[in-house]
Structure 1
Amino acid sequence: MSRPATDRTGTERGREVLPGSPTPLGAVWDGTGTNFALWSAGAHAVDLCLFDTDGTEHRSRLEETTHQVWHGRVPGVGPGQRYGYRVHGPYDPAAGLRHNPAKLLLDPYARAVDGELSLDPALFGYPGDAVDSTTRDDRDSAPYVPRGVVVHDPFPWDGDRPLRTPWSDTVIYEVHVKGATATHPDVPPHLRGTYAGLAHPAFVEHLQALGVSAVELLPVHHFVSEPHLLRRGLTNYWGYNTLGYFAPHAAYSSSGSGGGQVTEFKTMVKELHAAGIEVILDVVYNHTAEGDHTGPTLSFKGIDNGGYYRLDGGNRSRYTDYTGCGNTLDVRRPAVLALLMDSLRYWVTEMHVDGFRFDLASALARSMHDVDRLSAFFDVVHQDPVVSTVKLIAEPWDVGPGGYQVGNFPPPWTEWNGQYRDTVRDVWSGAHVGVRDLAYRLTGSSDLYRSDGRRPFASVNFVTAHDGFPMRDLVTYEQKLNEANGEDNRDGESHNRGWNCGVEGPTDDPEVRALRDRQVRNLLTTLLVSTGVPMLTAGDELGRTQRGNNNAYCQDNELSWIDWAEVDGDLRAFVSRLVRLRRSAPVLRQEAFFEGHEIPGTGGTRDLAWFAPDGGQLSTQAWFDTGLQTLGMYLDGRGIRHRDAHGRPVVDDSYLVQLHAGPEPVTVRLPGPPWADGYELVVSTEYATGAPPETTIVAPGQVELPGRCVWLLRVLRRP
């Protein structure tokens, strides 16, 4: 057989391409060949590029187009084949057109990605510094960009399926795949920082001991680093720079990038499910890795720039940027909306994930400019028989006008509750904000979520997240220290609502260190006794620090990774104790909002009551007293308003939570009958593990609360 001819570009002409099918999009192996299908409304021609193991490129023209989908079937091509596209068409940035066949483009539907992104001038569609030039750059980008991989993975799920843990039973653990095990001594070195490392028994046992029910993984869709980071010798660690919405990030695979990452990801999900732990993905459908008009041409920009992105109506060479990342995907367009929904369904049906947290979700909800609760994206999600059944969490803001939408997403969405974070931080940092807003946050934020029929678990409560100070730093630093990011400390939030306990940064002062330890316990206790869905940030339970960096998105090193050599064992025991107490106490995780009504047959107690330090119920004047720093919250377990699966009323113990954010001890009066005949102190933040040294029974009446402390008291009643 003769060797194929070589065309004038130095690549070899490809194989014969049969007509194939326009559906499904992507590269699909049928047992004897692979069908390739790519949507582009503006293309004049599309070349399929297949790569040998030595990098030799074979180009074949896709001659068939159906409803703006370019397609063809190549016999003999199967799993493991590397491929990409070159799209021919006009290059006119002023008109929003950026086609350039010199740029190898990643298939948006690629199931796996192989190869690194290397910074080179050939990545960019324009020549030199001429960003707005009408002359396109003709340097070949193929040596510097990743390629798609044809994947066929008949994984043995053995009956595994998404877990569907009820929201009221959910405790989320936000974690980075690499950072979780990069330094873990009990994970084999070749598995550290990988999907297999996250599923290793050493880490799974930590999750089980902690008592969490779900991991929320920072982005695992394949991503690349921004050119401005690569120029500074840094990389994007967090991963909010997606390039492939169907492909597990290749660098997190211990088995290489030839498609093995798909099997390894599925194995991780299966192992976590076997341990009773859900997998939620943090997904970035609001923008892509191609950035603004100065960014590289890697995929969407070269396939159909105006079809995928929201362009500035006054200057179509620029992008409408609601994300702060240079571009915004145009979810108003059917092809883009289909891409998102196809991706979501794929991760549920093929990868068995249990839900999604949508980064900058407000950007997805914009029909024209304002955030629109009735946008096509919401409509399609709500009616989808697959996506509508899993957990859906919105980060309810973006950087555009009116983008802060906490409380405004429709059912069945839940939301990261930024108001919860801000209120709890303010209270414990000593800000004089009173207790009125705190009461809403402790009880599920009914002011935000009740009016549209949602329940308390619409509120995902958190004090820290990947973005910002970890818990230890929140009580250690008031000023950010982000110089290592190379942006002259201009990046990151400047108003962190934290308190350094009187000394900035690390100290050997035992009193300051003890106070910081207690403040961490106060913040965590507040989080875990609040109605709603608590989210813990990985490492907070171990005392992790970022040494004052509150924007470590580009720090792929020990600054960001969990340091398993420096673990606060008492703090880990404290968090585990609280999580398990919460998961065993229905009154702390109610499915309906409190009513404040009297409970029949109890002598006058209510499902929820608020007590002032003098033992009386809080007055109207006290609710508006910004100097009040002490609050008693009474939760009656006989007033729970949901039933179990058999229709029986749920009845639980009753609890009194006493929070005191003031610096000095305070005398409070614990209410007596009919509220309680006595109390058992089950958690106190004055103790390192939260457990009093011995069983502590407290009689109604006056007691002294230590300064800056939380007590959780179980109500005792005479038979």
Structure 2
Amino acid sequence: MSLAPLVRTGNAFPLGATVTADGVNFAVASEDATQIYLCLFNDNDEEEHVIPFASHHRGIWHMEVLNVHEGQRYGFRAEGIFSPDKQLMFNRHKLLIDPYAKSLTGTLEWHPDLSSMYPDGHFNPIDTAHHIPKSIVRTVSRPNDALIRASVKGAERCLYELHIKGFSKNLDIAPKLKGTYLGVISDQGISHLKELGITTIQLMPCFAFATEKHLHQLGLQNYWGYNPINFFTPDHRYAVNDPVLECQTMILGLKKAGFEVLIDVVYNHTAESELDQSTFSFRGLDNARYYRHSDGKYLNYTGCGNCINTYHPATVRLICDSMRYWVEIMGVDGFRFDLGVDLGREHHEFSATSPLLQAILQDPILSDTCLVMEPWDIGPNGYQVGNFPRGFLECNDKYRDTVRRFWRGDEDIIGEFATRFMGSRDVFHKGYKCALHSVNYISYHDGYTLHDLVSYHRRHNHANMENNRDGHGDNISQNFGAEGPTKDKRIQSQRLNQQLCFLATLLLSQGTPHLLGGDELSHSQNGNNNAYCQDNQTTWLSWHTSQERALLQSTIKKLLDIRKAHPVLAEVFLEDDPLYQYKDSDKVEWISETGMPMSNENWAESERDFISVLFTTANLSTQLWLIFYREDQALNVPFAKSSPTCELLFNTPGVSIQNDRLHFSQRGVALVKLP
């Protein structure tokens, strides 16, 4: 063993490990610890030195260690009171990952020894250094050729949700690149994304994550990645060699291809799970500060065993520091926040002026990024769609459910359907938020794929080994007469047409559209609507060509081109909306199947199958007639304004112009440009 390194007082900021002229400055936050130790490991993973921190100032332990260099492996140990009923979980035998570590030696696997206490609540003295990936002293720099933030107009934005492994695992690329960061930006990957016409890649979580205990015991593993162990470090699973460099390269490659890049971030909980589960970082450093608790018990508003206490200054700082790192160093253009209500809670209740939300919005760097919020958690008053402050776009499940119900044929839906595809102005209120705040979607990673939405009546989650009890029971789906795969050509045709109707509705609605990666390929998960633990062909996209997939892909491209050419389809400037008082107003008219304005009686019909809207731009240069018809019976509709120069900009199969009328042979969507 080498001689113990010399130590200086060092600095409290920045937190983490920072290379200095003479060594490395270490700083870590812990208000309740009585002593923090720095543990230095050699390249053989042997613990060589245990050094007590020399200084403690305002809840931050810090010191500069001389003659320690870039690449040094390390971890922390924390000493203090062990009293679970008081949320004090200090246990010096548990090696801890630096919350600010930029690189780790590997992945973390669940093991019973990681717990700070035995099942009976007694102190667990088993050392865990051999189980814990070591933090690595690493200076990560922004690439010299890094691009500034991608410039995407709000009315043109279309999100595409992409799982790094699932997207690239089956691509026809070099085997070592399959399922990796670099595989995403292979020529095949980039070519496919560019052909779709999307603007924004929303990457599913790439923070270092761990598999939950119950999955480990079932022989399954976490696939989605919503179980983080660190907020700075890219996960090893998607790397060929160096996850930090390769993740950074992927982000830069996507931006060079012209895409805006968002990452899905999980700041609401960690993989340490319940109090009697793993201790590998936050819990061991300062459990009572990092996690929400009341009356000696965790507040589990996430359903994942714990929730981050975003009302505490140290946690607000941690999350904002992480976000700035991913913007300034890793190069992302924005974030999608998982279970965002937890981020907006104060002591317990949600508030639009909570410390973390306000910290993000006042930050000159973070506030200039694209911020997408999942506006719920499972805690009290956990449903907050429309209630986040301006600056955050919000995932709109009201849109998803209403559009699904409309196309399924549900009764008493026409008024709400109109509200949803016109931007959900009952939620994103006039005068305060524009329709683009509504992130509209039909399918997301959690739930059915678009293909399965039209192919299955019930969930089929048996592979998750929870007796088919997990996942949503009410999917608002339909199978058109057969459950799952079928050779019936009529059913196949109906299912394809329904997918096209969904895509047309989504991409011609007011708001910001979100596409689930793989829907353009008609990807199926065999009816599994909760495939979070299926790291296999169930979730890996298949790239075999077919006429069906070609039609889906070309339809998306065509619709996005139309949307870009006619911004009124994404955001209409309404005369009665104070938000647009300085703009010339567009005009909106509702037209029935008779070609006449919709009457009160029309709106009140419980089984109404037809609705259309006429947009006239403020400068009167363009009139666009958008029609939705959901009955599978022939219908002839007179033009809203008859003219021989009407142009059918878009139509689903079975829609055509015949004798100055719009003819539907089956359910469908049409967009007509009037003179």
What TM-score does the superposition give when structure 1 sets the normalisation length?
0.90
CA gap 1:621/1:353 in 2 versus in 1, 3 angstroms: same
In 1, Cα distance between equivalents of 2:154 and 2:9: 48
Divergent runs of 4+, >4 A: 593-597, 696-700
In 2, Cα distance between equivalents of 1:376 and 1:446: 27
Deviation at 1:652, TM superposition (A): 5.9
In 2, Cα distance between equivalents of 1:596 and 1:480: 42
Which residue of structure 2 lines up, in the alignment, with residue 685 of structure 1? 652
State whether residues 142 and 331 of structure 2, in contact with CA within 8 Å, keep that contact through their aligned partners in structure 1: no
Letter in 2 for 1:142: A
CA gap 1:497/1:36 in 2 versus in 1, 3 angstroms: same
In 1, Cα distance between equivalents of 2:374 and 2:586: 34
Q: Structure 1 residue 631 and structure 2 residue 601: aligned? A: no
Within the candidate set 48, 73, 79, 1:82 is matched to 73
- Within 5 A, what are the aligned runs for 1:194-209? 194-209=180-195
- Within 5 A, what are the aligned runs for 1:301-320? 301-311=283-293, 313-314=294-295, 316=296, 318-320=297-299
Letter in 1 for 2:123: R
In 1, Cα distance between equivalents of 2:226 and 2:311: 22
Which residue of structure 2 lines up, in the alignment, with residue 714 of structure 1? 673
Q: Secondary structure at the match of 2:394?
A: strand
Bigger Cα displacement from structure 2, 704-713 vs 199-208: 704-713
**Unmatched runs of 5 consecutive residues or more in structure 2:** 579-584
Deviation at 1:697, TM superposition (A): 5.7
In 2, Cα distance between equivalents of 1:468 and 1:241: 18
Q: Structure 1 residue 519 and structure 2 residue 517: aligned? A: no
Which residue of structure 2 lines up, in the alignment, with residue 664 of structure 1? 633
Which residue of structure 2 lines up, in the alignment, with residue 601 of structure 1? none
Deviation at 1:595, TM superposition (A): 5.1
Which residue of structure 2 lines up, in the alignment, with residue 106 of structure 1? 97
In 1, Cα distance between equivalents of 2:310 and 2:572: 33
- Within 5 A, what are the aligned runs for 1:464-543? 464-543=443-522
In 2, Cα distance between equivalents of 1:452 and 1:376: 25
Which residue of structure 2 lines up, in the alignment, with residue 290 of structure 1? 272
Deviation at 1:573, TM superposition (A): 1.8
State whether residues 175 and 538 of structure 1, in contact with CA within 8 Å, keep that contact through their aligned partners in structure 2: yes
Q: Secondary structure at the match of 1:28?
A: strand
- Within 5 A, what are the aligned runs for 1:632-647? 632-636=612-616, 638-639=617-618
1:473-520 alpha-carbon deviations (Å, 9 max, x no partner): 000001001111111111000000111112111111110010000000
Within the candidate set 423, 447, 461, 2:426 is matched to 447
1:253-311 alpha-carbon deviations (Å, 9 max, x no partner): 222xxxx3222122112211111101101111111111112321111111000010111
What TM-score does the superposition give when structure 2 sets the normalisation length?
0.95
1:341-375 alpha-carbon deviations (Å, 9 max, x no partner): 11111111111211111111111111133221121
State whether residues 46 and 70 of structure 1, in contact with CA within 8 Å, keep that contact through their aligned partners in structure 2: yes
Letter in 1 for 2:97: L
In 1, Cα distance between equivalents of 2:95 and 2:202: 33
Q: Secondary structure at the match of 2:287?
A: helix
Deviation at 1:596, TM superposition (A): 10
**Unmatched runs of 5 consecutive residues or more in structure 1:** 5-12, 598-604, 640-648
Q: Structure 1 residue 560 and structure 2 residue 551: aligned? A: no
State whether residues 76 and 95 of structure 2, in contact with CA within 8 Å, keep that contact through their aligned partners in structure 1: yes
1:497-547 alpha-carbon deviations (Å, 9 max, x no partner): 111112111111110010000000000010011111111100000110000
Which residue of structure 2 lines up, in the alignment, with residue 39 of structure 1? 29
Q: Secondary structure at the match of 1:425?
A: helix
State whether residues 362 and 396 of structure 1, in contact with CA within 8 Å, keep that contact through their aligned partners in structure 2: yes
State whether residues 457 and 591 of structure 1, in contact with CA within 8 Å, keep that contact through their aligned partners in structure 2: no
- Within 5 A, what are the aligned runs for 1:245-324? 245-255=231-241, 260-311=242-293, 313-314=294-295, 316=296, 318-324=297-303
State whether residues 107 and 299 of structure 1, in contact with CA within 8 Å, keep that contact through their aligned partners in structure 2: yes
- Within 5 A, what are the aligned runs for 1:123-522? 123-127=114-118, 129-130=119-120, 133=121, 135-158=122-145, 160-185=147-172, 187-255=173-241, 260-311=242-293, 313-314=294-295, 316=296, 318-451=297-430, 453-522=432-501
CA gap 1:31/1:653 in 2 versus in 1, 3 angstroms: farther
State whether residues 142 and 328 of structure 2, in contact with CA within 8 Å, keep that contact through their aligned partners in structure 1: no
Deviation at 1:453, TM superposition (A): 1.3
Deviation at 1:155, TM superposition (A): 4.2
Deviation at 1:251, TM superposition (A): 1.5
Q: Aligned Cα RMSD in Å?
A: 1.9
State whether residues 142 and 329 of structure 2, in contact with CA within 8 Å, keep that contact through their aligned partners in structure 1: no
Which residue of structure 2 lines up, in the alignment, with residue 583 of structure 1? 564
Bigger Cα displacement from structure 2, 294-303 vs 27-36: 27-36
Q: Structure 1 residue 19 and structure 2 residue 9: aligned? A: yes
Q: Structure 1 residue 549 and structure 2 residue 531: aligned? A: no
Q: Structure 1 residue 608 and structure 2 residue 588: aligned? A: yes
Bigger Cα displacement from structure 2, 32-41 vs 548-557: 32-41
CA gap 1:566/1:94 in 2 versus in 1, 3 angstroms: farther
State whether residues 142 and 330 of structure 2, in contact with CA within 8 Å, keep that contact through their aligned partners in structure 1: no
Deviation at 1:165, TM superposition (A): 1.4
Deviation at 1:585, TM superposition (A): 2.0
Which residue of structure 1 lines up, in the alignment, with residue 582 of structure 2? none
Which residue of structure 1 lines up, in the alignment, with residue 581 of structure 2? none
In 1, Cα distance between equivalents of 2:437 and 2:110: 42
- Report % sequence identity: 36
In 2, Cα distance between equivalents of 1:405 and 1:321: 18
1:605-656 alpha-carbon deviations (Å, 9 max, x no partner): 97211111111111122222221111112122x32xxxxxxxxx7x764321
State whether residues 83 and 149 of structure 1, in contact with CA within 8 Å, keep that contact through their aligned partners in structure 2: yes
